Structure formats: C-alpha cells, structure tokens
Structure 1
Amino acid sequence: MSTKLSVAIHILSLLDIEAEQHLTSTQIAGSVKTNPVVIRRIMSQLKEAQLIESRIGKKANKLARAPEEITLLDVYLAVHQDELPFGIHQNTELNCVVGSQIQEALDNTYQQIQAELMASLNNVTLKDVTSQIKPV
C-alpha cells in the first residue's frame, strides 16, 4: 500500500506543531527523510484540497484550517483522489471457476471495506493525531 497518507499526515502535523517555524518543503523533507520533490508533490495535493496554504518562494506553509477541522478522510481524499484502497487484478482466466468470478466477488467485499475505511477516517482529526505527539 502507498505511504502517501502517512507522509501527508506527517506534513500536516509538522505544520501544526511547528506553526511558528514557517517550515519549507526542504525542512519538512528532512523530518520525513525523503526528497523535497516528494514533499512538494504531496503539498501541492494538500494545497489543491485546501488543507494547506503556501506561497512559492516564501517560508509560508501553514494549515488552511484548524487541526480539529481536518479529518483523515480529507487528507486521504487529497492524496489518493480517485484511487481505491484496493485494486483488483484483471485479465483472469475466464474458463476457471475462480478466474471467471473473482472480480465480482472481491468488488462487493472491497466496496464494503472501503465504506468502513472512509467512515473511520472521517472520525479522526489531525488534532487527534497531533495530540498524541509529545514535545521533546
């Protein structure tokens, strides 16, 4: 599974906890231990979803809303957009009892799991996450 959701939550958590620091994407990349390009790409998605505000060339990245108003569903939808959490393999053998029916069987199951996942993500806020991070 992709780590984009956890990286996006990491970014938002840093912007919340270190709000006075006016962190750049390079500084955030240092915390995540990844390339700043990866951070900028995810931050672009978060900005498009109106979860952060930033200006090119300025140390002005910040949350666009209060952390208690940002749900993990908001973050998930920002970074995964139309991607489903589970993919179903295609081009199965239609002359096989399983191959001919597996997509339909998994589709129903995956739809239920996705609905439960979305409901769970909607019940957790960024504030819920950052309240578990203790100062060092």
Structure 2
Amino acid sequence: MQLSMKCSIAVHCLIFIHEAKGIARVTSPLLAESTGCNPVIIRNVISSLKKAGIITVARGTGGAELCMDPSEITLFMIYNALEPKGLSSLIGIHPCSERACPVAQNIQSVLAVPYQKIEHSIRNTMESITLKSMIQDFHCKTGKS
C-alpha cells in the first residue's frame, strides 16, 4: 500500500510556489529542476492542481500561483486532484467470488466494512493536514521563520 509519488511531487511544487511568490516566476522547467522530475510529469501535476482550483497558471508567460490560502488547502485536496479514485483503490480485494470456496465467495463482503473504516481514517487524517502546516514544518527544518 503506497500513495502515489505524484502527491509528494505536488506538495513539493506547492511549497516551492508559495516560497517563490514575489521572488521568481514559477514555471515547469524551474519546478522540474527543483524536484528532479521530468518537465512532462511536472506539467501533468500542475495541470491536475489547476483543474482542482488549487493553483492558477498565467497564460503564455507561465508562472504558477496558489489560488487559496495555504490554510485552506488540505493534503487530501492535493492527493484527490492527482488521484481522484486513488483512496478507494488504495486497498484492493482480489477477485475470487466466483470460486466454489465459501471464504472466496464472502471475502469481499467481510472486508468491505473494515476497508471502508481504513479509507475513512486515511481521508480524515489527510483532511487534517494543511499546506500551511507543511510550509511551517518546512520553515522549521530550514530555520526560516
């Protein structure tokens, strides 16, 4: 069970966008250099964040900016922008209900409620983490106030 690396790339980009405000025009080549990712991956991540209304990107000249205050942007919003069905497929159930075995015939219904609880718990945790808190943590680690 692993969250897509696109989420960490997106958080990296969003913190970079926040920190560069008023200092530099944030473009996909600049973000690619910072993240070490291919610019195509960065453009896909930026596109998803833009579609979700988390950032804006100036036409022509480029330059990404946050659309909301970092305190309003949650880790779940970021993750969901990149992986809209990701949380529901985070834990899978193998297909076996057609087998003659009674365990195989019932395992999906046995696991449905526990897996929903896990999904709900993960979502609640991700919704409690804001971009602002991650920026504050970044500042603590870099000694920036």
The TM-score, its normalising length taken from structure 2, stands at: 0.84
1:115 maps to 2:120: yes
Over 3 Å off, 4+ runs: none
Q: Which residue of 1 aligns with 2:56?
A: 53
Select which of 3, 6, 9 maps to 1:7: 9
Give, in angstroms, the shift of residue 123 of structure 1: 0.9
Count of equivalent residues: 136
What runs of 5+ residues in structure 1 fail to find an aligned partner? none
Paired residue type of 1:107:
A
SS at match of 1:108: helix
CA distance in 2: counterparts of 1:25 and 1:99, whole angstroms = 48
Give, in angstroms, the shift of residue 30 of structure 1: 1.5
1:22 maps to 2:51: no
What runs of 5+ residues in structure 2 fail to find an aligned partner? none
Q: Which residue of 1 aligns with 2:68?
A: 65
The TM-score, its normalising length taken from structure 1, stands at: 0.89
Give RMSD over aligned pairs: 1.8
Of Structure 1 and Structure 2, the greater helix share is in 2
Partner deviation per Cα, 1:46-97 (whole Å, 9 max, x = no partner): 0011000003432321111111111112112111112322222224562234
CA distance in 2: counterparts of 1:121 and 1:38, whole angstroms = 23
SS at match of 1:45: helix
Is 2:96–2:105's contact at 8 Å kept on the other side of the alignment?
no
